[in-house]
Amino acid sequence: MSHVLINFLSGEEAEGNVLYFSTDKPSFHFQCISKTGQPETRSVFLSTVRAIHFLKKTFGAPSLREEKIQNSIYAGTLAFKLMVEFDNGQVLHGSANKYNPNDKGFFLVPLNPADRSDRIYVNARAVKNVDCKRLIGKVLVDQGKITSEQLKESLRMQQELREKKLGAILHEEAIISKKQLEESLEHQKTQTKKPLGEILLDAGYITRGQLDYALDIQHRNRTKKLGMILVELKYVTPNDICMVLATQFHLPWIDLSRTRISPEAARILPVGVAFRLGVLPIELKGKTLVVATSRPYDQSITEDVTKITSLEVQLVVAYEGHIEDALKELIKGEVAGPHR
């Protein structure tokens, strides 16, 4: 039995339990509470729903959860990043193992690890537009080291063996040699020296025209940061930026808009120093301080924080706008979050 939240095409929203769900069946039984407050079992046709959110079994107050791209069930093991725009204007961001515009429906896994939904079934008939981008394996395909079909097969295997990294699977299956894998990883390291705009451009998240327009705005307003400009223009989402940077720098990422910050960790680094460095202490693990940053390419951050706190530092990627909001709340003494 699955606990779900159903968005109907009529605009109705209902939460309850599904006894058995199959995309091959035109309908399913749905147990919920009626408008009169009485339990009822309804027969729901898939053609009448916009989306079905399969909710996590345990979902309390948002807490720190780090996701590493290479083994994350939320993104790293899935082949595509989708932005789904519904006919009512609602937008969902997620990842999927496969997507075919001709299918009557498809499953989407939320990119945000703090999302209440474990997965979401989307009725394709209710979709206005889908923006589909490949999430991983791009460097290897672009370099001609592997074909798209080989990548799909590796992704299928990785879905079954989530603890393994994509590169290891490609090498073990003799799809690429160890030397080719090392060359590709070395190529990735050189890409990390690029500025954020170029990284987003290479990943296919924005166009050259969009980047140039955003850079022009930044040139006219020096206090504005590029990432925040791109988000304000709705070219990308905060999670898009986090995922791209996390992928490039092989770091965990978190969504600070859904994260409660440890007061103990927040007090370790003076707020003024945190503002200057553009970082946010979020958790203390023994002698290791977990620090959120939007600039994982800046090696001086780890050095400065370690020097000030005498603690080891673990960096996680977060959206700069959320970091700034959280720091402003820290000044007011609101360290418990979540910070939106």
Instruction: Please write the tens of the pLDDT for every residue from 94-147.
Output: 877 677 888 899 998 876 656 788 889 999 999 999 887 655 444 445 555 555
Residue 46 predicted with pLDDT over 90: yes
Residue 152 predicted with pLDDT over 90: no
Looking at residue 121, its pLDDT comes to 95
Please compute the mean of the pLDDT values over residues 189-218 and round it to a whole number: 79
Domain residue ranges in the chain = 2-66+80-131, 137-191, 193-236, 252-331
Looking at residue 177, its pLDDT comes to 63
Please compute the mean of the pLDDT values over residues 189-193 and round it to a whole number: 53
Residue 70 predicted with pLDDT over 80: no
**Can you name the residues that pair with 16 across neighbouring β-strands?**
4, 32
Looking at residue 12, its pLDDT comes to 93
- For 191-235, give the DSSP string: HTTS-HHHHHHHTTSS-HHHHHHHHHHHHH-TTS-HHHHHHHTTS
Query: What is the CATH number that goes with domain 252-331?
Result: 3.30.300.160
Averaged pLDDT of the chain = 77
Looking at residue 286, its pLDDT comes to 86
